[in-house]
Amino acid sequence: MSQGEDAVGTYEKWDFAEGTELEKEEQRKPKGALSPERAVVLLYMLLALTFVLFMALTIVNLQRACELSRAGSRVKASALLFSSPVSAVWEVLEQARIRSENSHTTAWHNLSEVQRALDKQLSGELKAIHGRLLNVSQEVENVRWKMTQCKEECGKELSDRLRVLEERDGLEPVLRQLAEVKQGQSRVSALLDVALEETRNLSEIICTRCPAGWQQFDKTCYFFSSTTKPWLAAKEFCANFSSHLAIVNTEQENKFLANHIMDNRVFWLGLTDMHTEGNWQWVDGRILSLSFWNSGEPNNVGHQGEDCATIYSSGHWNDATCSNAETWVCERSC
């Protein structure tokens, strides 16, 4: 045998031996085992299926989230639609209330300023009128005095003439003249009496006799104290000056008192219910008919009670404890 044949035979033997080994390995593998190629393919398929399931679950969750979001938006929109008109109404009402309060405050402030300006102007005019009335009063007194003197002198002169005529021889013409003179004297006397009565009435109408330090309103003089006293002491003070604590009869008089009160002060009025609770009377014994109580007053709070009335700069009244020391207002005719 040649070398080539030996080589071929050797290769065949080796190939046969290798095939035998492969068959033995195949026989040693358990039945039903997958090959590596099939395992890889199956793994890819499982991964693809897992990815598909993951994407499907993601899409479903997104859809649910969108639906929930839309539902929440609808709920919020409904809530907004429901609450928006109510909120708008409340806001409009609140703005209207604020405007009303602001307008009320502004109107009251403007009214107070106008009142102060008018009071100042009126005070100046009243002073000027007071001066003129004083001059007129003096002139009236002078005229009345002159007329009184004239009456006495004229009466004396006429009496003298009558006496002279009566002493002469009585003739009829003279007697007629005498009768006419007597009638003229009677007429003159009557006219003088009427004139004197009118001047007396005019003097009573013109008020020019308020003491120094007192304020005049209408035909009344008022004293506004600068010190403080309890109500009874203030009442006694006024009595010592032939006056009494202020009695308010009209709204104009109440405004006059309020305009002379500073913002941080209150003044005693001549009003009390110390004798019978709730039965408010003025110091002259009259029952209260016209009042300007502050809101919620009189309330009679405190263990001592509140039985005496005070007035604020606003013109409103308040009941206070009579033993408190406050400023006061006296009133008297001029």
User: What is the per-residue DSSP string for 239-285?
Assistant: HHTT-EE----SHHHHHHHHHTS-TT--EEEEEE-SSSTT--EETTS
Omega into 85 within 30° of 0, i.e. cis? Answer: no
Count of other CB atoms within 10 angstroms of residue 148: 14
Residue 280: phi and psi, rounded to 5, are: -80, 130
Return the amino acid letter for 252. Answer: Q
- pLDDT, one tens digit per residue, over 304-320 is 899 999 999 999 999 99
Nearest 10 degrees: Cα torsion 284, 289, 292, 294: 100
Between CA 138 and CA 206 the distance in angstroms is: 11
| H or E element, residue 188 | helix 172-205
The owner of tokens 């009025």 is: 269
213, 329 in Cβ contact below 8 A?
no
What tokens does 181 get?
């003179």
Between CA 17 and CA 140 the distance in angstroms is: 170
Report CA-CA distances (Å) from 196 to 141, 144, 154: 10, 6, 15
Mean pLDDT for the stretch of residues 169-187:
71
Comparison of pLDDT for 332 and 158, the residue scoring more: 332
pTM: 0.42
3-state secondary structure of 222: strand
User: Does pLDDT of 115 surpass 60?
Assistant: yes
Most confident of 101-115, 156-170, 187-201, 205-219: 205-219
